[in-house]
Amino acid sequence: MNPNKNGVADALKEIVSEYNNSIFMYDTKSVDFISFFNRLSEEERNELSNKSYIGAKGMINKPFLKKNYILHKKNKMVV
């Protein structure tokens, strides 16, 4: 891994590429995702849900993202 800006750019390109290759996995309301999810065993569904929660929690706990998330929540409460 390259710890400079080029390394970050390469990592983001890989993330976008992966997202584009399996976009149905990120739209949990799509027919494709629901079909996929319903084919999983209860154990697999729980594991997927737990990993999604842990991943989201890990991202939100980054200082910059956490600050923006808190501000977003406060703004939503006001509305």
Instruction: Indicate the pTM of the whole model.
Output: 0.42
3-state class (DSSP) for residue 3: coil
Number of domains in the chain: 1
CA 77 to chain centre: 23
Residues 6+ apart with CB under 8 A from 48: 37, 40
Instruction: Compute the distance between CA of residue 52 and CA of residue 61 in angstroms, rounded to an integer.
Output: 14
Q: What is the span of the domain harbouring residue 39? A: 5-78
φ, ψ of residue 27 to 5 degrees: the values are -105, 90
| pLDDT tens digit sequence for 20-77 | 777 666 777 888 888 888 999 999 988 888 777 666 666 656 555 555 555 556 665 4
